[in-house]
Structure 1
Amino acid sequence: MSKKPENKIFTSGISTQTTPLSKAKSPLSWKEIKTIKDRFSVPNWQSAGDDGVYVNMHLNEFVNVDMAMPTHTERHIPRAINPELGNTSFQLQDGSQTPTLEEYLADDYNRVQGVMMAHQGKVIFEAYPGMNPNDYHIWMSTSKTTVGTLCILLESEGLIDLEKPVSFYATDLKGTAWDEVSMKDALNMATGLDLEETTAAFSDPHSWIEQFFGSLFSRDPKSNWLGILRTVKPIEGEKPGDRFRYSTAVTQALTLAIQEVTGHSFKDVFNAKIWSKIGVGHPFMVGNTGDGVAVGGGTVNTTLEDALKYAMMYTPSWHVVSSERVITPEILERIRTLGDPKAYQGSEEEQYSLEWTGDLGERNATQWDQVWADGAMFKHGNMHQGIYVDADRDFCAFVFATSPNERSDKMPGFMRAVAKRVAGK
C-alpha cells in the first residue's frame, strides 16, 4: 500500500500578483478575494506572500474585530514635505553605507507599503509605494506599545502596582508560573519563562510558542490559547528580570490584566484613554481570538496617518492631534526607562538594533524593542511594521510593509537617520 502524501499548508509566495507592490493599491476581483479567503491560514498569512498583502490590509475580513469609532473632529497633520530627505542614507555596523531612502522605497524587494515621518508636528516625508493613504493596515507587534502604555497609565492612576505578579490582575493565570512574574518584568519581557520567539522555536511545530500562536490566531471559538498560556514553564536557572526574551504571549497576559483591572474590553480601555483623545479620521480596530479576546499585542489595524497621530502623542507636538496631553513627560520617562540594560545585553533585539540601524540600543522597555541612550524608542512588527518615537527631537514615524521576515529591515535606520538630520544632531 502506498503512503498518502502529507497535507502541506499552502503558502502563496510572492508573484507578479503583487510585484510591483503598487498593484496592491487596486482592488482584486471577487474571485481572487474568495480564493484568498478559502485558503487562509496563519502560516500563509505570515509568510508575507501575495495573500499576506491582502490579509494585512483587510484583517477584518479574516478575524472578528472590535472597533472604536472616531469621536472628535478630525485633525489633519500639516505638511512641510522636504524632498531632500529622500537622499538620506546611514552607515551600517560593518561600515558600509545603505542606499538612499528613495532608492530603498523604490526597490520592490523591500516590500514597503507606506511610511510617514513628522518633525515638530508637521509631516516632512511620506510615501505610499504599496497602499493608498486611506487603506487600513495591520500594525502587527507595533501594537504592543498600546498595551505597554496602557499599563503605565493605569499605574499612574493607582490601578496597577507593577511589583505585583501578573496573575494578581490576570486571575485566569493564577496557580501557574505567572504567579512568580511581576507586572514590571512582564512589561519588559524578562519573565524567566520558556516562551521566547526564536527562529529555532518557530522552526519546530511542536515548540510551546508555535502551539500558542496556532491557538491564539485560530478562528475556532473553542481555541485553547488560554489553557496553553497557563502551561508555560520557567527556564531553569533563570529568574524573572534576568534576561529580555521577546514573546507575544507576554503581551497577551498583560492584555488580560488590563481587561480585568478595568472591567472593560481592551478596545474600550484604549479608546477611553488614548484613541478618543486624538483627532483621528478613521476607526481603530483590533482583532480577537476565536473566543472573543483582543490580541492586543499584534492585531491593531488603522490607516497610516492615524497611526502617525498616535505616535505623535508621545512627542512635544501632541497638541497638533489632541486637546489633551495623555502621555505626559513623566509617563514618557517611565515608559522609556522601565527596562534594565543588563537584561537587554546579549539579547536578539540588541543585535537587531545594530542590524536595523547600525546604532546599538541601550535597553528595551515597556514593550518597546529598543531605547537608545538619547531616549529615542523603536518597536518592530512582523513583516516589517515599525513605530519610531524620538520625543527629544520632536520626531515620530510609522511604516507599514508586507515583507518576509528573513529579509533585513532597514526602515528603522532610515527613521533614526532622518530624525537626527532634521534635528541637526
Structure 2
Amino acid sequence: MTDPAPSSAFEAAYGFARSDVRLGNWRQAPWNVWAFRHVSELIPTALIPATPGLTEYPPVDPADLLEQTFPVGDGTASVADVLRRTSTDAVVVMKSGRIVADYHAPNFTAQSRHILFSASKSVTSVVAGILYSDGLIDVDAPVSHYIPELKSSAFADARIRDILDMRVSLDFEETYQDPRGDFARYRRAGLLEPSKLGDTPDSLLAFLASLQKGAGDHDGPFHYCSPNSDVLGLVVERASGQRFTDFAAARLWQPLGARQDAYITVDAAGTPRTGGGFCMTPRDLARIGEMMRLGGMANGRRIVSQDWVSDTTTNGSAEAWRAGKFFEWLPEGRYRNKWYQTGNANGAFFALGIHGQYLYVDPRAEMVVAKFSSQPEPVDNNLKRLNLALFDTLARLC
C-alpha cells in the first residue's frame, strides 16, 4: 500500500483541499480552522525571532481538567463541552507560573502559531509601554508629534492616551461583514483581502491619513476602532528609531523567554498590522500574560515598568466604558492601554480578538489562560460570556 498523496492527507485532516483556502475566504468556516494556523501562507509577514536554543517543557495532559463540570445557563457543561462549543484550537493554563494543562485540537501542535487578531493590540500596548518606561513616549503628546503624516487626519490632535484607551473621535466603524466601506478598505490596505480588480490598495499609513474625525471630541466615549492600534505601532517605530519587529524582538520577545519565533502580518510597504496581525504559539502568548501578572517581570528581569502594568490593570474610565457599545456584554468592565478589565472581585483582565482569541489573567488566582479559537462568527457576545464563565471556573479549579 502506498502513502496517500499530500492533498488527500490534507483533505482527510481538514475536510477540504488546501487549494480551497484563499484570501477571499480565509476567515470563514470551515477554512478558518486551517488558515488561522497558517497565516504566513496567505499574507506577507515579518519575523519576530526568539532566542535560539531555548527548550520547551513537555505537554501537560489536560484530561482531568476537561472532565470538570460547571453551571452553564439552566444546566451544566464540562470544560471539554465548552471548548467544543467555542471552536477551540488550543488552550494553555498556567498556575503560579507553572503550566498545568495544555489542550490542542486535532492537527494543532505545540509549535503551531495562531493569529491573535485583536488580542494583538494588547501585545502592541506592552511594546509601547516599554518605550514609555524608557521615557521615549509621552502619552499626553499628540499623535502628530510622532507621525507628521497624520497631521491632516483625525489623529492630528488625538493624544497617545486617546489611542491607547480607544477614545479617539473617529469616523469609522468595525463592520466585519461589510464588503464595502472604510473597514473593507482597511482590510485591503493590510493585504487581508483581495484587491478590487485593477485597484492598488492604500498602504496602511495612507489609509490612516485618510480617516477623519467623528462628531464628538477626543477623550469621549469608548469607541473601538482597530486603526488606533496600527497608529500605535507606527508611534513605536518613530519613537524607537527601529522597525517594530526588531524592537519587539530585542525588548519583549527574547527577554520574555519565548520559545518559538512569532510573526506579524505586514502591508506592501512592510508596515506591521499591530492592530491584529500577531501570530504565535499559545504557550508564548501565556508567557506574556504571566509577565503582566508579575507586574512586568519575566525570568528575573524587568520587561515593562510596574507603573505601566498597574495603570493598565486598575485605571481607565468607567464612564467612558458605559457610554460605549461593549457595555452590554461586559457591564462591569473598563478598558485601559488596550487591555480589558472584567471588574470582577479577582481583578481579572484580558486581551481579546475576534473569532475567540483570549489572554486572560486572574491575579488573585495566580492564573493565566491563553486560548485560540476558530469560531465561525467574528463577534458573538454569547460566546464571549461563555468564555469568561469558563475562565472564572478555571480560576476556581486550578
TM-score (structure 2 length as normaliser): 0.85
2:101 to 121, 125, 128: 125
Mapped to 1, the partners of 2:237 and 2:323 lie a distance apart of 33
Mapped to 1, the partners of 2:240 and 2:332 lie a distance apart of 34
Partner secondary structure for residue 358 of structure 2: strand
- Superposed CA RMSD in Å reads 2.9
Paired residues for 1:24-43 under 5 Å: 24=14, 32-36=17-21, 39-41=22-24
Which amino acid in 1 is paired with 2:350?
F
The Cα offsets for residues 149-176 of structure 1, whole Å up to 9 and x where unpaired, read as 1222211211111111112112221222
Which amino acid in 1 is paired with 2:47?
M
Mapped to 1, the partners of 2:333 and 2:32 lie a distance apart of 33
Mapped to 2, the partners of 1:278 and 1:72 lie a distance apart of 13
2:213 to 229, 234, 258: 234
The Cα offsets for residues 360-414 of structure 1, whole Å up to 9 and x where unpaired, read as 4330111123342543111211211111112343211111111112554222321
The Cα offsets for residues 245-304 of structure 1, whole Å up to 9 and x where unpaired, read as 112111011111111111111111111111011222211111101221111121111122
**Match of residue 55 from structure 1:** 35
Contact 2:133–2:305 under 8 Å retained in 1: no
Q: CA deviation at 1:212?
A: 1.7
Q: CA deviation at 1:88?
A: 4.8
Partner secondary structure for residue 391 of structure 2: helix
Matched, 1:398 2:398: no
Partner secondary structure for residue 418 of structure 1: helix
Which deviates more, 398-407 or 118-127? 398-407
2:348 to 363, 376, 396: 376
**Match of residue 9 from structure 1:** none
2:159 to 177, 182, 185: 182
Paired residues for 1:179-328 under 5 Å: 179-197=156-174, 201-218=175-192, 222-224=200-202, 225-236=204-215, 238-316=216-294, 322-328=299-305
Q: CA deviation at 1:82?
A: 7.1
Unaligned runs of 5+ in 1: 1-16, 354-359
**Match of residue 26 from structure 2:** 45
1:71 to 51, 66, 71: 51
Distance 1:193 1:268, change over 3 A: same
Contact 1:315–1:389 under 8 Å retained in 2: yes
Contact 1:286–1:299 under 8 Å retained in 2: yes
Which deviates more, 57-66 or 78-87? 78-87
Which amino acid in 1 is paired with 2:256?
I
Partner secondary structure for residue 272 of structure 1: helix
1:100 to 66, 78, 86: 78
1:134 to 62, 86, 111: 111
**Match of residue 332 from structure 1:** 309
Q: CA deviation at 1:222?
A: 4.9
Mapped to 2, the partners of 1:323 and 1:91 lie a distance apart of 39
**Match of residue 387 from structure 2:** 411
Mapped to 1, the partners of 2:33 and 2:315 lie a distance apart of 35
Contact 2:230–2:273 under 8 Å retained in 1: yes
Partner secondary structure for residue 142 of structure 1: helix
Contact 1:287–1:295 under 8 Å retained in 2: yes
Which amino acid in 2 is paired with 1:104?
V
Matched, 1:162 2:139: yes
Which amino acid in 1 is paired with 2:363?
A
Mapped to 2, the partners of 1:258 and 1:311 lie a distance apart of 21
Q: CA deviation at 1:342?
A: 0.8
Distance 1:194 1:337, change over 3 A: farther
The Cα offsets for residues 122-159 of structure 1, whole Å up to 9 and x where unpaired, read as 12222112422222211111111111112222112111
1:351 to 323, 328, 340: 328
Mapped to 2, the partners of 1:217 and 1:315 lie a distance apart of 34
**Match of residue 361 from structure 2:** 389
TM-score (structure 1 length as normaliser): 0.80
Contact 1:274–1:326 under 8 Å retained in 2: yes
Mapped to 2, the partners of 1:350 and 1:369 lie a distance apart of 11
Paired residues for 1:1-12 under 5 Å: none
The Cα offsets for residues 15-59 of structure 1, whole Å up to 9 and x where unpaired, read as xx999xx935x9x8xxx32442xx322xx1222x13222221111
Mapped to 2, the partners of 1:296 and 1:399 lie a distance apart of 19
Mapped to 2, the partners of 1:230 and 1:328 lie a distance apart of 32
Contact 1:143–1:299 under 8 Å retained in 2: yes
Distance 1:206 1:81, change over 3 A: closer
Higher helix share: 1
Contact 1:277–1:323 under 8 Å retained in 2: no
Partner secondary structure for residue 155 of structure 2: helix
Which amino acid in 1 is paired with 2:168?
T
Contact 1:78–1:123 under 8 Å retained in 2: no
Partner secondary structure for residue 352 of structure 2: strand
Which amino acid in 2 is paired with 1:367?
K
Mapped to 2, the partners of 1:240 and 1:60 lie a distance apart of 36
Matched, 1:115 2:91: yes
Distance 1:247 1:91, change over 3 A: farther
